[in-house]
Structure 1
Amino acid sequence: MKKKIWISIGVVVLILVLVGVNVFRTMGKENLTVETAKVEEREITGNVMVPGTLSLSQEDFLYLEPENGEISEVLVKEGDQVEKGTPLLQYENEQLQLEKEQNALSLESAYLRINQIKDQIDALDDKEKDLEDQVGEKEAEETVEAERNQLNTDLKVADLEARQVQLQKETIDEKIGQLEVKSKIVGTVLSVDEDALAGRAQTPILHIGKADEFVVKATISEYDSLKIKEEQPVTLKSDVILDKEWKGTVSKVSLLPVQTENLMGNEDTAVQYPIEVTLDNQDIEAKPGFKLIMDIETEKRKVQAIPVEAVKQDGEDYFVFIVEEGKAIRKDVKLGATSDEFMELTSGLENGQEVIINPPDSLQNGMEVSVK
């Protein structure tokens, strides 16, 4: 009997404890302590994150050109400083040399022919005088005039042939001039590839570049190409060099896209636009080829804004909680651009209203709250 009484007392105590806990939790839920922030005007920036590659600002790659013949001499070595127009390579082409000699003979023959015809025209006056004594003045004049007309025609033809040979000479001379390859940029000879020189590799024979001037190269999508413009500021970071960042400026946005193959291997292609970013400070620890993350600031303006931590999402809709007369009130909002800490508020709240920061999932519309 006593045992049953003690069991009954235990059950009652347990029920009272559970009820007390629930009451305590309910009271806690209905009177949360929250932190708030005001809706106010702030400067907000729009950003685009783009991966890029650190590259030399100017560089040139020279490949073997078999149509020029064989390389007879490399005129520079690794580490040499070169100017624009500095000779780098010399090709040797026996066929071009033979064509040049044949052209010279053809040109000499053409000028000999022209001189012969001119001499024949000059001799017609003496011939006309001799004919006058034989056939009379009128008939002699007619005979010589016919010959003079024919010789003048022959002279024009010979002159045209000489001009054609001269054009051939200029073409051959231009090709021979190209046998000496000159630098297109100012820079340093970064490498000389012996395997490429011997034709054993299809790599650049010479690599020339400005070793102390860097840019970051990247490609952007069609959508981002509408937002990214020249002169926009850029912040750059590296996953390899931690706790470091560099500043730069968008210096080039290509008007024309490059075509990249679709990963699925079909005919569809993704359109990408090349861009370049110039570093404000060239003293950077990274090396050419390093991958960098570029944070490009695409816009900066004054807007009504609220902290990112105040915004919650319900499907495709966004809402916040404000505090009115000690209660949390849910308000649907429309948002615009987003920065790291704030979101642009386009409608739903008035300037100066207080929004709850980091509202807990248990917070309900109309629940009593206390503001810190």
Structure 2
Amino acid sequence: MKKKIIISVVIVAIIGIIGGIQIASRNKKQVTTVKTSKVAIGDVKMYLSTTATIKSKNEKNYSVSGATKISNVKVSVGDKVKKGDTLLTYDIADLNNQVQSAQINYDNAISQKKDAVDSNDDAKDTIANTADTPANTAIISTAKASVLSDEKVKQLNNAVKSAEATLDSAKIKLSQNSDITSDIGGVVTEVNVISGQTGAQGTAIAVQDISSLKGVVKVGKYDAAKVALGQTSTILSNGKSYKAKVSKIYPTATVNTTATGGDTTLTVELDVLEAAPQLKVNFDSDVDILLKQVLAVVKVPAEAILTNKDGSTYLFVVSDGKAVQKIVKLGVQSDTDMEILSGIKVGESVILNPGSAITNGVLVKDAKNVGGK
């Protein structure tokens, strides 16, 4: 009886050992399903994606005289104007009176000088042509008294110059305050004055050429180092894209302070290179600035790349049903693609988003070959 029990125990032990071996064998052959992508030749483009405020490249703000009454505001917001069109006129009655008064004073000064010079010439002629005899003493004495002194001539000339300066000033004031004309062609975007008003603070009338636009971008110090003049850009609005390029980079940064803190940014301007009716001045639009690109290079999806603690980069390729780790050197990087300078070859399959289960040598199977998408 004891012999039978021992035999039964041995048999159970052998069955357990065999089962353990079979389980271990199955575990060794366990395969992880992965998604892959082929290493290919293509383009890699690095973009700075941000927002821009749309502005007119050509705009003009006009202020009004603080002392002259506005006679007539001739434009309204939305009106189209050409260069030289009158935007508003002033009540110039007082200015005309000032010009007329100055003109009279100037004419009087000229007349007084002429009369004095004529009298001076007559006196000199009398002195020269009158015999110096006792009978002519009184005549010669009176003539000599009429001869102008150098100081008197200087006074007459100064009076003429002063009157002329006053007249010129009145004419300039009249010309500058008779009306305001547009220096550019465009659309009236602000009117902050009315007829009959005298003076105003700030912008009275604004005109903008809304057919010639630019995007104004604020970039931080890290992105500022990557932006350069002439870089190709795209401005996006309502599902449409418009070609642009970096046209201006400000020489200094600006400190922006708010109630919750602040930051320092550099202003960059982008010229819009085509008609863009969807873009509206002062609205924000999405912008992609092409910082760098390489064409026809070896590339892989960015989601295949992993980074070691020492900063080196690697990925996994599928070889003979196994995941094989390979160290790679990267070139230009974008949000979606990475240029590979060395480490893998075109046509190899790289594993996308390898998780912790993927290690060097682990068995893997491509999801494409097992019904995956």
TM-score relative to the length of structure 2: 0.71
Instruction: Give the 3-state SS of the residue equivalent to 1:295 in structure 2.
Output: strand
Structure 2: tracts of 5 or more residues without a match: 1-13, 135-139
Instruction: Work out the CA distance in 2 between the residues paired with 1:36 and 1:273.
Output: 40
User: Bigger radius of gyration, 1 or 2?
Assistant: 2
Using a 3 Å threshold, how does the CA distance of structure 1 residues 298 and 166 change in structure 2: closer, same or farther?
A: farther
How much has 1:294 moved relative to structure 2? 0.6
**1:35 has 2:36 as partner:** yes
- Output the CA distance in 2 between the equivalents of 1:226 and 1:196: 51
Taking the aligned partners of 1:370 and 1:254, their CA distance within structure 2 comes to 51
2:34 and 2:77 map into 1 onto residues whose CA distance is: 70
Distance (Å, rounded) in 2 between the aligned partners of 1:56 and 1:172: 36
Rounded Cα–Cα distance in structure 1 between residues aligned with 2:99 and 2:260: 49
- Give the secondary-structure state (helix, strand or coil) at the position aligned to 2:36: strand
CA offsets per residue over residues 80-115 of structure 1, 9 Å max, x none? 432111111123367755654553344234313431
- After superposition, where does 1:194-273 map in structure 2 within 5 Å? 204-210=203-209, 214-221=213-220, 223-238=222-237, 241=238, 244-250=239-245, 252-257=247-252, 259-263=254-258, 270-273=264-267
Q: Check whether the contact 1:235–1:245 (CA below 8 A) recurs between aligned residues.
A: no
Q: Which residue of 2 aligns with 1:87?
A: 86
What's the % identity of the aligned pairs?
A: 20
Query: What secondary structure is seen at the aligned counterpart in 2 of 1:262?
Result: strand
Contact 2:318 2:351 in 1 (8 A): no
Deviations 1:320-355 (A, max 9, x none): 124566643333334342224311234x51554735
SS in structure 2 of the partner of residue 301 of structure 1: strand
Match in the other structure for 2:307: 313
The aligned residue for residue 8 of structure 1 is none
SS in 1 for 2:66: helix
**Equivalent in the alignment of 1:52:** 52
Find the counterpart in structure 1 of residue 4 from structure 2: none
Matched residue, 1:6:
none
Deviation for aligned residue 1:246: 1.0
Aligned: 1:293 with 2:286: yes
1:367 and 2:369 correspond: no
**Which stretch shifts more, 272-281 or 217-226?**
217-226
Q: 8 Å contact 2:55–2:213 — kept in the other structure?
A: yes
The answer to whether the aligner puts 1:159 opposite 2:196 as a matched pair is no
Kindly state the Cα deviation for residue 236 of structure 1 after the two structures are TM-superposed: 2.7
d(CA) in 1 for partners of 2:30, 2:270: 56
For 2:260 and 2:336, locate their aligned partners in 1 and report how far apart those are by CA, in whole Å: 41
CA contact (8 A) 2:326 2:344 kept: no
- Superposition pairs of residues 329-368 of structure 1, within 5 angstroms: 329-346=324-341, 348-349=342-343, 351-352=345-346, 354=348, 356-358=350-352, 359-368=354-363
Counterpart amino acid of 1:69?
T
Please say if residues 260 and 270 of structure 1, whose CA atoms lie closer than 8 Å, have aligned partners that are also in contact: yes
Q: 1:258–1:272: 8 Å Cα contact kept in structure 2? A: yes
Aligned residues of 2:248 and 2:269 also touching (Cα < 8 A): yes
Structure 2 CA distance for aligned equivalents of residues 61 and 21 of structure 1: 84
The verdict on how the C-alpha distance between 1:33 and 1:223 changes in structure 2, with shifts beyond 3 A counting, is closer
Counterpart secondary structure, 1:236: strand
In structure 2, the CA distance between the partners of 1:91 and 1:134, relative to structure 1 (3 Å rule), is same
Name the SS of the counterpart of 1:272 in structure 2: strand
The superposition leaves residues 138-161 of structure 1 with CA deviations (integer Å, 9 ceiling, x where unpaired) of: xxx9xx99997834x643553344
1:277 equivalenced with 2:271 (yes/no): yes
Aligned length: 346
List per-residue Cα deviations over 1:176-205 (Å, max 9, x = no partner): 222211112212345645679868996754
Does the CA contact (< 8 Å) of 1:72 and 1:90 recur in 2?
Answer: yes
Contact residue 186 and residue 208 of structure 2 kept, 8 A? yes
Change in 2 beyond 3 A, CA 1:287/1:60: same
Gap runs ≥5 in structure 1: 1-11, 136-140
Alignment partner of 2:360: what SS? coil
Shift of 1:18: 9.3
Change (3 A) 1:201 1:110: closer
1:248: Cα distance to partner? 1.4
TM-score between both structures, scaled by the size of structure 1:
0.72
Q: Take 2:243 and 2:26, find their aligned partners in 1: how far apart are those partners?
A: 57
